[in-house]
Structure 1
Amino acid sequence: MSKVFFFNIPFHGHVNPSLGLVQELVKNGEEVIYYNLDSFREKIESTGAVFRRYSSKFYLDENYVTYNITDLFRVHLDLSELILDELIEDVKRDKPAYIIHDTMCPWGKHLAQITNIPAINTFTTIALEPDGFILTAGFVLALAFNTVKNIPNMIKVRKIKKAIESKYNIKVHSMMDVMLNKEEINLVYTSKEFQPKSEKLMKRYKFVGPSSMYRKENVPELKLNRNTKRQLLFISMGTIFNNNIDFFNTCTEAFKNMEIDVLMSVGKSIDISTLIIPENFTVKYYFEVPQLEILKECSIFMTHGGMNSTQEGLFYGVPLIIIPQQQEQAHVAMQVVRTGCGICLKKSKANSDLLKESVQKIMTDNSYRENALRMRDSFINAGGPEQAVKDILLYVGKKRIVNIL
């Protein structure tokens, strides 16, 4: 049995995919010490892992939202500088055999470099790699504009970068490295069929399929008052982008007279009593909805395009209508369209007529359902948590042999 440090950020979209992997590691006899915040303790401990709270210096939490990539650079690099000394002491005390970290945890990569411990990186979204993913001109321009517009932020970032490099004698190769944190082996929670240009990434990347559906949902059973002969549309904008009341009002206007049933999941800041709810609608707060159970019986899933939600829908063969709220979700939506599993709509153009038209299109075109089922098969064939653990143990075993020699 080996001791493992697992580092993640405190967001459902990053924690949920890791739970199946952690549970499988524990099943294989590994002792996993999982770093996060108290709000995720119950989820993490349900896998059999040992929960360990980040230092009080760690100030990132699930309420943090930014569209500014230079803010991400600054915050994540700053966090690394703040907690590295304490993590080094933890390594000295616990002596982990290897480290697993989320792709947005630079402190995981930095700690591995400082202590010379083997590390595995995990991608909760599609792998962003220059030779394996064609970055759109719009993305490149937006990144350049954001950088120029936020020069004070970038000065702070470079100052932190130099401080880390000088103190710990390691190299932070680029700003994107702060967000990607690639290692010799990188686990991607999707299939090679869903990943664009996956054939160019097969050496360092292991496409093990989605894992978030292996989590345990501590949500009471939701009884829907619906006509089971009608198709069910599930609308959910995830756990972050779910407080746009204008969008939800547009949905009720679009589908109130359609011969379908609708379950709509909304954010905590929405006062449901203020919504005009048609008879064919059920409206619940997102934490009241057992998403995995609902996806088993719904016909269409309208979502923001978060990687977990997207792949959970496809895992159950459900066609998608994606309305991206930020750049990463737009990349995911591109793959849904490329694979013929659904439709992508710009949020600025998602009026009631377009929403209704999109639902009618999926209801009448069986190819969306057929392609979603094909993608489901690719996810299953990727191997899931079992394959991921095999890849991890094989890699760590090889590193041990090299170190002995």
Structure 2
Amino acid sequence: MARFGAFCFPGTGHLYPMTALARSLQLRGHEVVIFGIADTEATVRAAGIEFCQIGAEDYPPGTLKMLDEHLARLKGIAAFRFTLARIRNSTRMILRDGPQAVRLANVETLLVDEAEFAGNVADHLGLSWISIALLPPLLPDDRFPPFWFGWSAGQDRLSRFRNRLAIRFLLRIASPIFNEVNQQRIEWGLKPLTNPEDGLSPIAQITQLPQALEFEISGKNPVGLYYTGPFLHAQQRPPVDFPWERLDGRPIIYASMGTLQNGSESIFKTITDACAGLDAQLVISLGGGLDPARLGKLAGDPLVVRFVPQLEILKRASLVITHAGINTVLESLSEGVPMVAIPLANDQPGVAARLRARGACVVVSRHTLNLARLRKAVLLVLEDGKYREAAQVLQKTIQTLNGPDRAADLIEQVLHIRPTQLNP
């Protein structure tokens, strides 16, 4: 048996998969404690995972809602810069509070979300640690475009040169975070980070992205990178009240812009206008970002709610209109549902590009989004069976995967530990 500590970005898109992984480790007889701010405690404990609060001074209850509401109003580079600022502030707090919390929790190994920098705490304490990519993995490899960009993975010299420039650009923007980290590492007597790969675990990088959804790249995967599958335990999701009686039996178009960047009324209104008049019922999840009343009367009289029991509604959906957040994409593919993607910021363009490369979606840029383009995309995906066929090909692959169990296998293998029990 081992005792793990986990650090995770405080958003449901990170917490749900991390708690799913933690649950799989617990079922094998291991112990897991997740370190997080006050606003994440309820989600972690509801999943049956031990919780240890950090950042009480910086992140009192209610802080997360305020940060998420601000992010919901941002797009593109502004959203990316705000996200980097959040990561920088979180990193500063983790480097300050993390060592003592980890010591008191008496953990042996850390599992570190790649959106956090807690691997430096492990280095300081002399602990082993593993990188967990809940987004597409960070790849300092010019065969892959950084996932902040929505272009394809061409293997010609020009494409690889473009990828190198993009990696340098992102490193430059993120330099304040690395400066913060290196200042603390020097104080701890550790070698500063000099390359992107220095911020990844030297033991393993485990991603919930299935290999089948990654770009088809010539050559081997980067050393130490392991693709698994969606980190999902459906029973860990909190119950959501939903007016099932209002479904009218028509095919369902499900639209969600996620739980973070979901504050744009204009996007939701464009979606409703684009779907009006179709022989389908539009169901919109606002993700908590807006009050349904603010949208007023909408074309086509869609069913609009704050939250949807997403795993259940996807089983009935014919099409998903999405921001291309990785969890919504993976959950949609698990049900073989094709998509129209409107990536807004951060990792979403890269997720959408991978989905498009596999033929399971049409991508509509937020910069060119309008009624005509979105309606054309919706009709194309609904009427051309190749998109559903591509989604179902990915579904068949994903159904053979048990992402949390595969990740737990890998963690045990690379750390040379054995489970004390295996539960079905």
What TM-score, normalized to structure 2? 0.83
- Contact map agreement 1:233 1:263 (CA 8 A) in 2: yes
Cα 1:52–1:281 shift into 2, 3 Å: same
2:272 aligns to what? Answer: 252
1:277 aligns to what? Answer: 298
Q: How far 1:119 sits from its partner (Å)?
A: 0.8
CA distance in 2, matches of 1:147, 1:393: 32
CA distance in 2, matches of 1:70, 1:219: 32
Greater alpha carbon shift after TM alignment, 159-168 vs 297-306: 159-168
Cα 1:101–1:144 shift into 2, 3 Å: closer
SS in 2 for 1:200: coil
> Quick check: 1:370 aligned with 2:389?
yes
AA aligned to 2:246 is: N
SS in 2 for 1:113: helix
> Quick check: 1:53 aligned with 2:53?
yes
Cα 1:95–1:299 shift into 2, 3 Å: same
SS in 1 for 2:51: strand
- Contact map agreement 2:205 2:225 (CA 8 A) in 1: yes
CA distance in 2, matches of 1:227, 1:36: 42
Q: How far 1:348 sits from its partner (Å)?
A: 2.3
> Quick check: 1:100 aligned with 2:111?
yes
2:337 aligns to what? Answer: 318
Cα 1:350–1:386 shift into 2, 3 Å: same
1:13 aligns to what? Answer: 13
SS in 1 for 2:21: helix
Deviations 1:240-294 (A, max 9, x none): 1212111222222222211111101224334525422345511111x3x111111
CA distance in 2, matches of 1:281, 1:49: 37
Q: How far 1:398 sits from its partner (Å)?
A: 6.5
1:107-118 map, 5 Å: 107=118, 109-118=119-128
Q: How far 1:181 sits from its partner (Å)?
A: 3.2
1:403 aligns to what? Answer: none
- Contact map agreement 1:33 1:50 (CA 8 A) in 2: yes
Q: Which has the higher contact order (CA 8 A, sep 6+)?
A: 2
Q: How far 1:174 sits from its partner (Å)?
A: 4.0
2:351 aligns to what? Answer: 332
AA aligned to 1:54 is: I
SS in 2 for 1:385: helix
2:241 aligns to what? Answer: 220
**Matched length:** 390
AA aligned to 1:126 is: P
- Contact map agreement 1:106 1:181 (CA 8 A) in 2: no
1:33-52 map, 5 Å: 33-52=33-52
Identify which of 122, 133, 149 aligns with 2:144. 133
2:100 aligns to what? Answer: 89
CA distance in 1, matches of 2:5, 2:133: 17
AA aligned to 1:237 is: M
Segments of 5+ residues of structure 2 without an aligned counterpart are 152-158, 419-424
- Contact map agreement 2:275 2:300 (CA 8 A) in 1: no
> Quick check: 1:168 aligned with 2:156?
no
- Contact map agreement 2:20 2:232 (CA 8 A) in 1: yes
2:421 aligns to what? Answer: none
> Quick check: 1:119 aligned with 2:140?
no
**Percent of residue pairs bearing the same amino acid type:** 21
Greater alpha carbon shift after TM alignment, 113-122 vs 162-171: 162-171
Cα 1:225–1:4 shift into 2, 3 Å: same
Greater alpha carbon shift after TM alignment, 329-338 vs 70-79: 70-79
Cα 1:307–1:171 shift into 2, 3 Å: farther
1:396 aligns to what? Answer: 415
Cα 1:121–1:159 shift into 2, 3 Å: closer
Cα 1:270–1:90 shift into 2, 3 Å: closer
Q: How far 1:82 sits from its partner (Å)?
A: 3.6
- Contact map agreement 1:190 1:379 (CA 8 A) in 2: no
CA distance in 1, matches of 2:333, 2:245: 22
SS in 2 for 1:15: helix
Deviations 1:169-204 (A, max 9, x none): 2234247469x6344211101211112246632641
Cα 1:361–1:4 shift into 2, 3 Å: same
1:243 aligns to what? Answer: 263
What TM-score, normalized to structure 1? 0.86
- Contact map agreement 2:36 2:55 (CA 8 A) in 1: no
2:231 aligns to what? Answer: 211
Greater alpha carbon shift after TM alignment, 273-282 vs 318-327: 273-282
- Contact map agreement 1:243 1:270 (CA 8 A) in 2: no
AA aligned to 1:217 is: P
Q: How far 1:21 sits from its partner (Å)?
A: 0.9
AA aligned to 2:303 is: T
SS in 2 for 1:391: helix
AA aligned to 2:128 is: P
Cα 1:197–1:115 shift into 2, 3 Å: farther
CA distance in 1, matches of 2:47, 2:83: 29
Q: How far 1:224 sits from its partner (Å)?
A: 4.8
Q: How far 1:310 sits from its partner (Å)?
A: 0.9
AA aligned to 1:383 is: N
Cα 1:242–1:94 shift into 2, 3 Å: closer
- Contact map agreement 2:140 2:197 (CA 8 A) in 1: no
Cα 1:170–1:164 shift into 2, 3 Å: same
CA distance in 1, matches of 2:104, 2:170: 42
Cα 1:349–1:6 shift into 2, 3 Å: same
Deviations 1:278-332 (A, max 9, x none): 45511111x3x11111101000000001111111111111000000101421111
Cα 1:134–1:128 shift into 2, 3 Å: same
Segments of 5+ residues of structure 1 without an aligned counterpart are 400-405
Greater alpha carbon shift after TM alignment, 310-319 vs 192-201: 192-201
Deviations 1:21-64 (A, max 9, x none): 11111111111111122332232123321111113244483625
CA distance in 1, matches of 2:295, 2:334: 34
